[in-house]
Amino acid sequence: MSSLAQHLNPARHRAAMVLRILALAMAGAVALTVALVVTQDTASAHGSTINPASRNYGCWKRWGNDFQNPNMATQDPMCWQAWQADPNAMWNWNGLYREGVAGNHQGHVPSGQLCSAGQTGGVRYAALDNPGNWRATNVGANFGVKIHDQALHGADYFLIYVTRQGFNPLTQRLGWNNLELVKETGRYAPGAGTRETGDPVLNGVSNTINVSAPGRSGRHIVYTIWKASHSDQNYYWCADVNF
């Protein structure tokens, strides 16, 4: 019997070693998968309006390091509801886009879903369409829209709209008929713009586009479309302002 035990113990030891090796291999595979996902998410970073800030960039900027703070519910209620609906809308503040639009923005992005780019990515960005007291930037009749191109895509064009007087973003979802086109730009070469150095997250270039929107007072939305130059990739951003 003792001889049999001597033969079995090494066998058990070898089996345990094999299991440990397999566990380490599986852990390594999982770690590699996570690393690849993070790398892909980083590589797919693109951009946003940063002043006035888009709804999801503003929420991320103010609360990204404190997103579980219950004070957000009273201090920044629209960001609070967006964080509760899907935090990925803020973590992916630079990836709110649609592909394959072929210039037909109104055909691909329905009224009432402009801030979510027609609920691109499913319902990830859907909370951005909700009307309410989003944090607004004070502007005058003439102001600049600062756009950050994180991936140095360049642009075929930017379209900048401002809501018409009488539209109320506190109670209304944004529709195409609420908008007035105030600026259409030409092409921006990839990498054109001012390199951002003050914020390590903004590691691309920025361009400020000057616009004029007279005859407005109170709360409005600045709606920006960015047609990237590297492919048929189109970004849509709502930024809240107060004239």
Domain locations along the chain? 1-43, 48-242
Q: What is the pLDDT of residues 160-201, one digit of tens each?
A: 999 999 999 999 999 999 999 999 999 999 999 999 988 888
Distance of alpha carbon 212 from alpha carbon 145, whole angstroms: 11
Domain 48-242 has CATH 2.40.30.10: no
What is this structure's pTM? 0.82
Cis before 190? omega within 30: no
Distance of alpha carbon 131 from alpha carbon 223, whole angstroms: 14
Q: What is the pLDDT of residues 8-50, one digit of tens each?
A: 455 554 544 544 544 444 433 333 333 333 333 434 569 999 9
Task: Retrieve residue 34's tokens.
Answer: 């996570």
Q: Write b or e for each residue in 24-39: b if 16 or more Cβ atoms lie within 10 A of its Cβ, otherwise e.
A: eeeeeeeeeeeeeeee
Complete DSSP assignment for 213-234: --S--SEEEEEEEEEESSSSEE
Helix-then-strand count for the chain, H and E? 6, 10
